[in-house]
Structure 1
Amino acid sequence: MKVGLIRCQQTEDMCPATTDFKVMKEKKLAFEGVEDEIEIVGVVSCGGCPGKKAVTRAVEMVRRGADTIVLASCLTKGTPIGVPCPHADQMQSSIERKVGDSIQLIGYTH
């Protein structure tokens, strides 16, 4: 599995994505059941509200080899600030439309 991780720009200064990387390495939570080696192709932010850059950044990570795009839990669950991104669903559906069915999309990490 080659992962492109998209995270919330608002939480970058308080979260270094340590837990995201840990659950990938240990194949837990969103990565439970993954048998292949997990390689991180890239880590980017959504570009800031309302997350319009997430789509082009996802496309670029796919171009660079990602077969899976993952929206970090800071976007979809609000970790660590407790407020999920109000644009997360729109971001996810826009990414799905743009990258197509050949790319797996995971909506959280932990």
Structure 2
Amino acid sequence: MKLGIIRCQQTEDYCPGASDFDAIHDKTGAFSGTEGDIRLIGFINCGGCPGKKAALRARELVNLGADTIAFASCVQKGTPIGYPCPYAEQMKALVLKEIGKHIAFLDYTHEPRSH
């Protein structure tokens, strides 16, 4: 898998992406059952609310070789601050339209950590 991750810009101050990277390394969360290596192509934010830049950023990740685009768990699950993106569904629709059916899409990356 060649993976591009799009995260919420609003959570960058709270989250360095460690749980995302752990899920990739350990093949847990959305990566559970993944065969073979997972190569991270890019880790970028949505561009800020309302996430309209996510489609352009997904396209660039695909241009760089990503065959899978994932929303980091902060987007739809709201981790780590407990606030899912209110634009997640519209942003997902834009991204899916942009990347087409030949690119896989994951709704999240990892399960919430217990502190």
Per the normalisation by structure 1, the TM-score is 0.98
DSSP 3-state at the match of 1:43: strand
Equivalent in the alignment of 1:52:
52
Match of 1:40 in 2: 40
Q: Quick one: which amino acid aligns to residue 23 of structure 2? A: V
C-alpha separation in 2, matches of 1:66 and 1:34: 15
Supply the distance in 1 between the matched residues of 2:11 and 2:102 (Cα, whole angstroms): 30
Which residue in 1 is equivalent to 2:73?
73
| Residue 48 of structure 1: how far off its partner (Å) | 0.3
Unaligned residue ranges in structure 2 (runs of 5+): 111-115
Q: CA deviation at 1:51?
A: 0.3
CA distance in 1, matches of 2:70, 2:2: 10
Distance 2:54 2:94 in 1: 9
Question: Cα distance, 1:53 vs. partner?
Answer: 0.6
Counting aligned pairs with the same residue, the percent is 55
Q: Give the number of aligned pairs.
A: 110
CA deviations over 1:28-87 (Å, ceiling 9, x no partner): 111011002000000100000000110000000000000000000000100011010001
Q: Give me the whole-angstrom Cα distance separating, in 2, the residues matched to 1:28 and 1:68.
A: 16
The aligned residue for residue 98 of structure 2 is 98
Q: Which runs of 4+ in 1 moved over 4 A?
A: none
Deviation at 1:17, TM superposition (A): 0.4
Q: Distance in 2 between matches of 1:36 and 1:58?
A: 23
State the superposition RMSD in angstroms. 0.5
Which residue is 1:86 aligned to? Answer: 86
TM-score (norm 2): 0.94
Unaligned runs of 5+ in 1: none
**Distance in 1 between residues matched to 2:73 and 2:34, nearest whole Å:** 18
